[in-house]
Amino acid sequence: MSEVILVLGASGQIGVELTQKLRDLYGNNNVIASDIREGNKNMMVSGPFEIVDATDKETILKIVKKYKVTQIYLLAAMLSATAEKYPQKAWDLNMNSLSAVLDIAKEKHIKQVYWPSSIAVFGPKTPKQNTPQNTVMQPSTVYGISKVAGEFWCNYYHEKYGVDVRSIRYPGVISWKSKPGGGTTDYAVDIFFNAIEKGTYECFLSEKTRLPMMYMDDAVNATIQLMQTDSKNVKNRTGYNLAAISFTPEEIASEIKKYIPEFTISYQPDFRQEIANSWPESIDDSEARKDWNWQHKFDLSTMTEDILKNLKK
């Protein structure tokens, strides 16, 4: 049977690209985009769009019934850097939206849920290199706390109520079609726009800050691959570690210089440095690779080439 998918928070950085890929795969009319604000033009015209507050269970349920939705992808959230400014709002949005969607699945209105976690579940006491799937999770940010709690809610609903919920701990996701929404890894997107438009960039993290990252194409493919795999392959119901590349601002700048030799970068670390310092440098994602055959395609050099080629157009 064909799926009908509702994407909550579809107008954000990941949502616009994931929605497009889902529409290509499942048919434009079978993927309902929704958000509290409109998304880019392409998303708005290529298929159905509804204004939905992801914390409002009744409205979500109305849309689920209207379109006979079978799967929900819940992308609405407040991200790490913004959440530090509005901790209570972040907690309310991140937790109440997940509760609403998990309850709708528990009540059997839908069959499957996708909810992204993050490398922010880890904290200063977590091993920084090759961070294992199961390790210390003591985050120092409200965003990280909401992701740890969310992961355990997902696992609880799976164990107690049989809810088929799946999750990935995304690293920093890098894109050029859509701009990021207030995370600590946003510099790795901003740097490309600034390199093309101004030839220079002031980075809010220090030059040696190494963080796990991933190109949007890989993140979108991983998400759909996890959702499409047979349920018996999904052995982890908290959140899968997922990795592709790890690099520092200095390293990405020197990669960009290969294409724009006059490009310059300066460093002015702000409050986001402390968040970055609490996160891993690299991630062990062998369980995702083993359980559902995850493989990344893009490394730092192929990603940089692809982004600059597209942005220059």
Q: Is 9 in the site for ligand NAD (CB under 6 A)?
A: yes
Q: Which is nearer to ligand NAD, 86 or 162 (CB)?
A: 86
Q: Is 8 in the site for ligand NAD (CB under 6 A)?
A: yes
CA 70 to chain centre: 21
With CB under 6 A as the contact rule, the residue among 3, 5, 6, 15 that binds ligand NAD is: 15
Residues numbered 210 to 269 that lie near ligand NAD (CB under 6 A) are none
To the nearest whole angstrom, how small is the minimum distance from the Cβ of residue 125 to ligand NAD? 20
Residues numbered 117 to 136 that lie near ligand NAD (CB under 6 A) are 118
The CB-side HSE value for 223 (13 A sphere, CA atoms) comes to: 29
Q: Which is nearer to ligand NAD, 92 or 202 (CB)?
A: 92
* Cβ atoms of residues 307 and 300 within 8 Å: no
Q: Is 37 in the site for ligand NAD (CB under 6 A)?
A: yes
Amino acid in the structure at residue 116: P
Q: Is 12 in the site for ligand NAD (CB under 6 A)?
A: yes
Query: How many DSSP H helices and E strands does the chain contain?
Result: 12, 14
Cβ atoms within 10 Å, residue 35:
24
Amino acid in the structure at residue 40: N
**Which tokens is 51 given?**
């204004």
The stretch near ligand NAD (CB under 6 A) out of 63-71, 177-185, 264-272, 285-293 is 177-185
User: For strand 245-247 and strand 211-215, is the pairing parallel, antiparallel, or unpaired?
Assistant: antiparallel
Binding mask 57-86 for ligand NAD (x = CB under 6 A): ------------------xxx-x-------
Cα–Cα distance, 205 to 124 (Å, whole number): 17
Say whether 193 sits in a helix, a strand or coil.
Answer: helix
Q: Is 185 in the site for ligand NAD (CB under 6 A)?
A: yes
Say whether 17 sits in a helix, a strand or coil.
Answer: helix
Q: Is 139 in the site for ligand NAD (CB under 6 A)?
A: no
Cα–Cα distance, 221 to 224 (Å, whole number): 5
To the nearest whole angstrom, how small is the minimum distance from the Cβ of residue 246 to ligand NAD? 14
Q: Is 173 in the site for ligand NAD (CB under 6 A)?
A: yes
To the nearest whole angstrom, how small is the minimum distance from the Cβ of residue 285 to ligand NAD? 14
To the nearest whole angstrom, how small is the minimum distance from the Cβ of residue 44 to ligand NAD? 13
Task: Tell me which residue has its CB nearest to ligand NAD.
Answer: 12
| Annotation says 143 is catalytic | yes
Residue 134: DSSP 8-state: S
Beta strand residue intervals within 106-160, DSSP E:
112-114, 117-118
Say whether 164 sits in a helix, a strand or coil.
Answer: strand
Rg (CA), the chain: 19
Cα–Cα distance, 115 to 149 (Å, whole number): 12
Q: Is 53 in the site for ligand NAD (CB under 6 A)?
A: yes
Say whether 215 sits in a helix, a strand or coil.
Answer: strand
To the nearest whole angstrom, how small is the minimum distance from the Cβ of residue 261 to ligand NAD? 29
To the nearest whole angstrom, how small is the minimum distance from the Cβ of residue 50 to ligand NAD? 10
**Which residue among the candidates 67, 86, 114, 143 is catalytic per the annotation?**
143
Q: Which is nearer to ligand NAD, 79 or 163 (CB)?
A: 79
Amino acid in the structure at residue 76: A
Q: How many residues bind ligand NAD (CB under 6 A)?
A: 28
Catalytic residues: 143
Applying CB under 6 A, which residues contact ligand NAD?
Answer: 8-9, 11-15, 35-37, 53-55, 75-77, 79, 93, 116, 118, 170, 172-173, 180-183, 185
